Chain A
Amino acid sequence: MNTTVKIAGVTFKNPVMTASGTFGSGMEYSEFVDLNRLGAVVTKGVANVPWEGNPTPRVQETYGGMLNAIGLQNPGIDVFIERDIPFLKQFDTRIIVNVCGRSIADYVEVVERLGNQPVDMLEINVSCPNVSHGGIAFGQNPNSLFEITKEIKAKAKQPIIMKLSPNVTDITEMARAAEAAGSDALSLINTITGMKIDIHRRTFALANKTGGLSGPAIKPVAVRMVYQVANAVKLPIIGMGGIANAEDAIEFMLAGATCVAVGAMNFVNPYTTQEVITGIEAYMCRYGIEDISELIGGVR
């Protein structure tokens, strides 16, 4: 049985990754999960300088999901290179670094700093709904997305993955813009902008007022968007949005994803990534699937 997949020349031992922001840089979850088992660890977003993030409360539960407005708190690229990359290098897994910024120059600075680092791919976060500058602003307009993708692609030493926002009218328009600008792959979806109101205190449940919705509640939206994008562009897709088990992951692959990422469900069950991997293997056995690539885009 072959579970390896390939994106932009990078081979992954299996298609299962962590979704950015839900797994830190792997340190915390390495107490639970054997990181060697994972196809890749996708790190929390890192910027050129440390970011404080938003005030608390930053997280709230919703029906079958959760809202977060962390605001991309991160220690900055210096600490990340010094501490997080060497940590991840101890493991036999691919490293994908999620990059965030407030301006194109910020993104480019991080991308250039990572140029000589042992990381496999860069995921460009142009879809965070919880910061006032940068983030989603680049991901909601095809021209802006084209421009930033092109600038980053010109400077990047590693293949780049543009991470798309679902908070748009037509996600295929964004996918086409990223493809035209030279992105090597796409990941989707980032969180869906949402709001929760505390009716007892008559205030917003999150200090940031709005937050990004994730978890099983958003899965059907994510599967639909992966399907649409897979049919609109030729780029390989990393699919995510509420994946809780192998069945969910297989849905994403059949919709057109080459890889899948586990996000909010890491918080619910820290062993989710491993369980998804073993579950996919069991599914392949059950249906006599020799090569996992048979699943990708299996539904047309």
Chain B
Amino acid sequence: MEQKKKETGVVYRQQEIATGIFDMWVETSLAAQARAGQFISVYPQDKSTLLPRPISICEADAEHGRLRIVYRVAGKGTKEFSGYRAGMKVDILGTLGNGFPIAEAVKKRVFLIGGGIGIPPMLALAKALKDTDTAAIDIILGYRDKELFLSEELARYGSVHIATEDGSAGAKGNVMDAIAAEGLEADIIFACGPMPMLRAIKQYAQEREIPAYISLEERMACGVGACLGCVVKTREVDHHSHVNNARICTDGPVYLATEVEL
């Protein structure tokens, strides 16, 4: 049974895999219960930074008890994390949120779409789909430039298509441009990335009447559903809140795009 807990993990290794993008493996008992699409909260040691940083799970190695996170340095907390070396302690809470509904992909042509720092959870998902009987897997990745972090690893699990904002690799533009340029088609979409990308995917999926499962993020405090900080507007009245707000940390972060207002 999956149980949320806060514990102190140990950094197994860390490296910078693109400018400002760090790749950290943490030894933790939480690895055994991690599912693709879930996240962990990572706590800075600097006491002036109060709140944990929610970071998606990039990969889990249950056998060795290790979790992998790939994150962008965005502020004081992630800057601190980026200085962690092998053997150092790291406080984490997890595993949080619900994963991607992998069973929905059976016999379907699947798009995995990741934009920027939304790419890391796609690796966990791609690995999870390896043992699922899908019809095809196209992995569409959007980057700022030619620093194509994780793209080679993802290529083991499907056909990778790249878009870059500056046109230095793949299609110039965003993931939707790459899909159009290569004439790709799918029956189901799983995606994580910036809000404009998720809005475009929602519209794309609605026009084609296919399901799109998107992973959202929002400013969070508790990460466990108590503070009501990280809500998203929902189409239907939410079963827990009894208003049109769902908690991204506990009800999400993955939603069927048609169920949420972006």
Query: What number of A residues sit within 8 Å (CB to CB) of B?
Result: 39
Provide the residues of chain B in CB contact with A21, threshold 8 Å.
227
Provide the residues of chain A in CB contact with B225, threshold 8 Å.
24, 27-28
Kindly report which residue of chain B lies nearest to residue A264, judged by CB atoms: B50
Interface of B, helix, strand, loop or mixed by DSSP: loop
Contact call A59/B220, Cβ cutoff below 8 A: yes
* A87 is an interface residue with CB less than 8 A from chain B: no
Instruction: State whether A32 and B50 are in contact (beta carbons under 8 Å apart), knowing that A51-B243, A52-B244, A58-B219 are contacts in the complex.
Output: no
Could you say which of B3-11, B23-31, B147-155, B164-172 contacts chain A? B3-11
Contact call A268/B50, Cβ cutoff below 8 A: yes
Interface of A, helix, strand, loop or mixed by DSSP: loop
Q: Which of A253-297 contact B (CB under 8 A)?
A: 264, 266-271
* A232 is an interface residue with CB less than 8 A from chain B: no
Minimum CB–CB distance from B229 to chain A (whole Å) comes to 4
Contact of B221 among A31, A59, A75 (CB under 8 A): A59
Contact call B49/A61, Cβ cutoff below 8 A: yes
* B231 is an interface residue with CB less than 8 A from chain A: yes
Kindly report which residue of chain B lies nearest to residue A207, judged by CB atoms: B219
- The complex places the Cα of A264 from the Cα of B226 at a distance, in Å, of 11
Contact with A along B142-160 (1 / 0, CB 8 A): 0000000000000000000
Contact call B224/A73, Cβ cutoff below 8 A: no
* B230 is an interface residue with CB less than 8 A from chain A: yes
Query: What number of B residues sit within 8 Å (CB to CB) of A?
Result: 34
Contact of A79 among B5, B93, B226, B242 (CB under 8 A): B242
Provide the residues of chain A in CB contact with B226, threshold 8 Å.
22-24, 28-29, 44, 266-267
Instruction: Tell me which of B43, B50, B231 has the highest count of chain A C-beta atoms within 10 A of its own C-beta.
Output: B50
- The complex places the Cα of A270 from the Cα of B219 at a distance, in Å, of 18
Contact call B93/A270, Cβ cutoff below 8 A: yes
Could you say which of A64-72, A91-99, A154-162 contacts chain B? A64-72
Contact of B4 among A27, A31, A75 (CB under 8 A): A31
Contact call A59/B6, Cβ cutoff below 8 A: no
* B117 is an interface residue with CB less than 8 A from chain A: no
Instruction: State whether A70 and B50 are in contact (beta carbons under 8 Å apart), knowing that A75-B242, A76-B242, A270-B6 are contacts in the complex.
Output: no
Contact with A along B20-53 (1 / 0, CB 8 A): 0000000000000000000000010001111110
Provide the residues of chain B in CB contact with A44, threshold 8 Å.
226, 228
Contact call B50/A64, Cβ cutoff below 8 A: yes
* A60 is an interface residue with CB less than 8 A from chain B: yes
* B134 is an interface residue with CB less than 8 A from chain A: no
Kindly report which residue of chain B lies nearest to residue A57, judged by CB atoms: B219
* A216 is an interface residue with CB less than 8 A from chain B: yes
Contact call A59/B231, Cβ cutoff below 8 A: no
Provide the residues of chain A in CB contact with B241, threshold 8 Å.
50, 73, 75
- The complex places the Cα of A122 from the Cα of B4 at a distance, in Å, of 31
Provide the residues of chain A in CB contact with B240, threshold 8 Å.
75
Kindly report which residue of chain A lies nearest to residue B242, judged by CB atoms: A75
Contact call B221/A66, Cβ cutoff below 8 A: yes
Can you spell out 30 A-B residue pairs with CB atoms less than 8 angstroms apart? Answer: A21-B227, A22-B226, A24-B225, A24-B226, A28-B224, A28-B226, A29-B226, A31-B224, A32-B5, A32-B6, A44-B228, A51-B243, A53-B228, A53-B245, A56-B230, A57-B218, A59-B220, A61-B51, A64-B48, A66-B50, A68-B229, A73-B243, A75-B240, A75-B241, A75-B243, A266-B226, A267-B50, A267-B51, A267-B221, A270-B222
Can you name 7 extra interface pairs (CB under 8 A) apart from A59-B51, A68-B227, A267-B52? A50-B241, A53-B231, A58-B228, A58-B229, A59-B221, A59-B229, A215-B50
Q: Which B residues fall within an 8 A CB radius of A?
A: 3-6, 43, 47-52, 93, 218-232, 240-245, 250
